[in-house]
Amino acid sequence: MVRHVQVGKYLVFRTMFTKKDAKKKAEPEDQDFYGVGSRSARWINTMLIGLVYCQIQPFLLVFSAVHFLVCKFVYGHLIVFAEERKADVGGGIFQDQLWHLHFGLGTYIILMSGYLANRSSYIHVFGVPISPYIVCFLSLVYLVRSARKMGNVDCQVLPRNEVPKHPQLNQHDETVSYIQPELLEKKASEDVEDDWPASENDMEESDEGDDDSESP
Which position has the higher pLDDT, 192 or 22? Answer: 22
Q: Are 9 and 26 in contact (CB under 8 A)?
A: yes
As a whole number of angstroms, the distance between CA 109 and CA 140 comes to 7
Is the residue at 89 inside a domain? yes
Is the residue at 62 inside a domain? yes
Tally of domains in the chain: 2
Mean pLDDT of 100-117: 91
* Full-model pTM: 0.63
Mean pLDDT of 181-199: 55
Q: What is the DSSP string of 98-123?
A: HHHHHHHHHHHHHHHHHHHHHH---E
- Strand partners for 124: 129
Q: Are residues 23 and 40 in the same domain?
A: no
Q: Are residues 45 and 144 in the same domain?
A: yes
Q: Is the pLDDT of residue 211 over 80?
A: no
Is the residue at 108 inside a domain? yes
Q: What is the pLDDT of residues 46-85, one digit of tens each?
A: 999 998 888 888 999 999 999 999 999 999 999 888 888 8
What was the pLDDT predicted at 214? 47
What was the pLDDT predicted at 46? 92
At 118, the pLDDT band (50, 70, 90 cuts) reads confident
Q: Are residues 151 and 76 in the same domain?
A: yes
Is the residue at 185 inside a domain? no
Give the residue numbers spanning the domain of 93: 35-157
The average confidence (pLDDT) of the chain is 78
